[in-house]
Structure 1
Amino acid sequence: MTVFLLKRILIGLVTLALASMVVFAIMELLPGDPARLMLGMNATAESVSALRTQMGLDDPIHLRYLNWVGGMLVGDFGRSFTYSAPVIGLIAERAVVSLPLALIALVLSTIIAIPVGIFAAARRGRAGDTVSMGAAQIGVAVPNFWFALMLVYVFAVWLQLVPAGGFPGWGGGIWPGLRALILPAVALALPQAAILARVTRSAMLEVLGEDYIRTARAKGMPRRHVLWRHALRNAMIPVLTIMGLQFAFLLAGTIIIENVFYLPGLGRLVFQAITQRDLIVVEGVVMLLVASVIVINLLVDLCYALVDPRLRAAR
């Protein structure tokens, strides 16, 4: 197990290094002069030249890359020229919104999807299966921003149960902050729950055809125990894979939802940095998201061994 863990960490570090090269190269290949775009087309040549020097754009490309990577290794992601603040500080301020939002959405998605997937698999070919998978298909097809708009209209405008947007911060208490994240989390969770429910159903149907399931039924074990104790645990490998990918997507793919609900999260930070051509912020946030995906994949691999003892023994 230790050798496996070390190999996965090494692969993650190599992936992170390659991702840093790709991100830096893409930022460099974007058309236009970042200094000119930030100052505006009416800026003088002297002002543009001074900003380019301040941003380090006149240095050789390999030196700029090494300085950027070296700074990140010691926790220095650079300084935003739009916000006049360290990038790591901006990320920390926005992460306290995006991270809880992604966690709440993942929990909601799991709570909805796994029971629905088990229910549909246990009633394969019957009305319950058809209705459940039909609803899941609708959830996959409909974009999450449409769910967001409908949720705002029903629960914020019509029923007035929750705020339509904005975030009061955690300083005023946990409940006001959670109340502001309920609708965005539901809007993010519903499409992901539809995908996870379909994966859970497929995995359960494959497991329910195994010999040990038939043996358990032949011994008179209650159907609920067969489904939840035996079938679900052996069907969790693909489900865990999708859950890991979904959390990474929820953490990185909240740009639209955060703009719909005016949430000051990482998604809005990236969107604003792109529009203002604040490349150092974009690079820092993207690298943080890449690192989070690598860590999540490592945790999912460890969960495989916890769920299936056969994998732990093999490793």
Structure 2
Amino acid sequence: MTLFLLKRIAIGLVTLLVASMIVFSVMEILPGDPARLMLGMNATPEALDALREQMGLNAPVVERYISWAGGMLTGDFGRSFTYRAPVIDLIAERAVVSVPLALIALTLSTAIAIPVGIFAAARRGKLGDTVSMGTAQIGVAIPNFWFALLLIYVFAVWLRLVPAGGFPGWSGGVWPGLKALILPSIALALPQAAILARVTRSAMLEVLGEDYIRTARAKGMPRRKVLWRHALRNAMIPVLTILGLQFAFLLAGTIIIENVFYIPGLGRLVFQAITQRDLIVVEGVIMLLVASVILVNILVDVAYALVDPRLRARS
């Protein structure tokens, strides 16, 4: 297990290095002068030169990449020229909103999707299966930002049960903060739950056709026990894959939802940084998301090995 984990970590580090090169290169080839975009078209040449020097834009590309990547290794993501604050502080301030939002959405998505997928697989071809998968198909087709607007109208404007947007901060208490994240979490979770439910159903149907499942049923094992103890565990590999991808998508997909609900999270931070051409903030947030995806993939690989020891033996 230790060798298995070390190999996955090594692959993750190499992936992170390559991703950092790609992110830095893409930011470099973007059209436009960041200094001129930040100071405006009427800025004097002296002011532009001073800002370029302050931002390090006059240094060679390789030197700037090494400085940027080396700084991230020590926790120094640079300093925002728009907010006049360290990027790591901005990320930490916004992550305490975005990470709970993504985790709540993932929990809701999993809690809804797996039981629905099992229910549909157990009633293949029947009315329950048709209704469940039909509803899931609608959930896949609906964009989450449109669903978010619908939730705002129903629960915030019409019923007045929750706030329509904004975030009071955790200092005001856990419940007010969670209440502000309810609608964004649902808007993120339901489309993902629809996808996960379909994957769960397909994986369960494949497993339910295996000989050992038929043998268990022939021995008189209760149907519920067959589904939850034997079939589900062996169907978890594709489900875990989708769960890992979904967490990364939920963390990155908050850009739209946070702007719809006016939530000061990472998504809103990177959107504002893009519009203000604050590239150092954009690079920092993107690398954080990349690192999160790599970490989640490592955890998913470990979960694979725990669910199916044969995968660990082959690694």
Query: Does TM, normalized by the shorter one, top 0.5?
Result: yes
Amino acid corresponding to residue 212 of structure 2 in structure 1:
Y
| Moved >4 Å (runs of 4+) | none
Partner of 1:119: 119
2:51 is aligned with what amino acid?
L
Aligned to 2:153: 153
Asked if the contact 2:4–2:312 (Cα under 8 Å) also holds between the matched residues in 1, the reply is no
Which deviates more from structure 2 when the two are superposed, residues 88-97 or residues 6-15? 6-15
Match for residue 289 of structure 2?
289
Contact 2:155/2:162 (8 A) holds in 1: yes
- 1:144 matched to 2:152: no
Structure 1 distance, partners of 2:94, 2:52, is 27
Q: CA deviation at 1:39?
A: 0.6
Distance 1:73 1:220 in 2: 58
Query: TM-score scaled to structure 2, two decimals?
Result: 0.99
Q: Quick check: 1:89 aligned with 2:89?
A: yes
Note the 1:31-70 alignment, pairs <5 A: 31-70=31-70
1:57, distance to aligned residue in structure 2 (A): 0.2
Amino acid at match of 1:40: G
* Displacement of 1:266: 0.3
Q: Match for residue 238 of structure 1?
A: 238
* Residue aligning to 1:208: 208
**Residues of 2 paired with 1:116 and 1:240: CA distance?**
16
Deviation (angstroms), 1:4: 1.5
- Cα displacement (A) at 1:208: 0.1
User: Offset of 1:45 from its aligned partner?
Assistant: 1.1
2:185 is matched with 185
Distance 2:139 2:98 in 1: 22
Q: Provide the rounded CA distance (Å) in 2 between the counterparts of 1:209 and 1:180.
A: 44
Letter in 1 for 2:247: F
Distance 1:314 1:27 in 2: 40
Amino acid at match of 2:228: W
Residue identity in the other structure for 2:160: Q
2:203 alignment partner, SS class: helix
Q: What TM-score do the two structures reach when normalised by structure 1?
A: 0.99
Give unpaired runs (5+ residues) of structure 2: none
Report the CA distance between 1:313 and its aligned residue.
4.1
C-alpha displacement of 1:173:
0.7
Contact kept, 8 Å, 2:105 with 2:188, in 1: the verdict is: yes
Amino acid at match of 1:67: S
User: What residue in structure 1 maps to residue 19 of structure 2?
Assistant: 19
- The number of residues matched between the two structures is 315
How well do the aligned residues superpose, as a CA RMSD in angstroms? 0.7
SS in 2 for 1:187: helix
TM-aligned CA deviation for residue 314 of structure 1: 4.0
SS at match of 1:89: helix
**1:309 Cα deviation after fit:** 3.0
Match of 1:106 in 2: 106
Q: Percent identity?
A: 84
SS at match of 2:125: coil
Q: Which residue of 1 aligns with 2:174?
A: 174
Partners of 1:253 and 1:145 lie apart in 2 by 10
Counterpart residue identity of residue 281, structure 2: V
